[in-house]
Structure 1
Amino acid sequence: MLVHLMLELYNIDREILSNEPLLRQVLDQYPERVAMEKVSPVHLYDIETSNPLDAGMSGFVVIAQSHISLHAWPEYGEVDIDICSCKEFSQEDAINFAKEIFKTDDVEAHFVVRATRSLRPEEPDPVRFAQAMEERRLAKSGVR
């Protein structure tokens, strides 16, 4: 199973949405705030398009369970955040963190359950997990 929370936050001060260190901090802190394991650095891009009103910042961070992304449009006072994970998480915590950071209560939230036929179990088989961990340990030590 895969869960996908999609947030659209409105009426945000353009200075907040133009603050690159703040947006980087949001992506850096979000995994911990929703009890996820971050496995990549934050990737954040200053986006310029053919329409200057659509310019903004877009970024993501990879988590062990999938990803967290955001797209901020200062001209419109809007940020969109997606949290996609095969691990369940608190939607309320995710929404509250976004409201706190972006200083708005104007939030539209959508929640979708995806991959309902996935063969990936909620918890790994203990025997297969132990074997995989041993293989990883040996590979890191250079022993085959």
Structure 2
Amino acid sequence: MLVHLMLELYNCDRELLSNEPLIRRVLDEYPGRVDMEKVSPVHLYDIETSNPLDAGLSGFVVIAQSHISLHAWPEYGEVDIDICSCKEFSQEDAIAFAKEMFQTDDVESHFVVRATRSLRPEEPDPVRFAEAMAARRNRAASLAPAEVG
């Protein structure tokens, strides 16, 4: 199963939506706020399009279970946030964090359950998990520099 929360925040301060350090911080802190494991740095882009009114900041962070993405349009005072995960999380906490960071109560949210036929179990098979962890350790050991003696 995959859960996908889509948030549209309206009537946001344009200065906040243009604030690159703030947008980066939101993406950096979001995984921890929804009890997810961050596995990549924040990727943030200053988007310029053929329509200057559509310019803004867009970014994402990869989490162990999928991703969190954000698109901010200062010209319109809007920000969209998607949290997609194989792990369930608190929608309320995700919405509260967005409202806090972008200082608005004007939020539209959509929640979709996807991948209902996925073969991925909620908890990994303990034997397969142990084998995968051993293989990971062996790979890491083989990539480690040889000791000089």
| Percentage of matched positions with identical amino acids | 85
Mapped to 2, the partners of 1:6 and 1:139 lie a distance apart of 38
Letter in 2 for 1:73: W
Mapped to 2, the partners of 1:57 and 1:5 lie a distance apart of 20
Mapped to 1, the partners of 2:101 and 2:5 lie a distance apart of 17
Structure 1 runs of 4+ with >6 Å offset: none
- The aligned counterpart of 1:91 is 91
Mapped to 1, the partners of 2:52 and 2:137 lie a distance apart of 50
- The aligned counterpart of 1:114 is 114
1:16-50 CA-to-partner distances (Å, cap 9, x unmatched) read 00000000000000000000000000000000111
Structure showing greater radius of gyration is 2
Letter in 1 for 2:51: N
Mapped to 1, the partners of 2:131 and 2:40 lie a distance apart of 25
Report the secondary structure of 2:69's partner residue.
strand
- The aligned counterpart of 1:57 is 57
Paired residues in the alignment total: 143
- The aligned counterpart of 1:127 is 127
Letter in 2 for 1:98: A
Letter in 2 for 1:77: G
Normalized against structure 2, the TM-score is what? Answer: 0.95
Normalized against structure 1, the TM-score is what? Answer: 0.98
Give RMSD over aligned pairs.
Answer: 0.8
Shift of 1:101: 0.2
Letter in 2 for 1:86: C
Please list, as runs of the form range in 1=range in 2, the aligned pairs for 1:1-144 lying within 5 A after superposition. Answer: 1-142=1-142
Letter in 2 for 1:26: V
Shift of 1:13: 0.5
Structure 2 residue runs without a partner (length 5+) = 144-149
Report the secondary structure of 1:58's partner residue.
strand
1:93-130 CA-to-partner distances (Å, cap 9, x unmatched) read 00000000000000000000000000000000000000
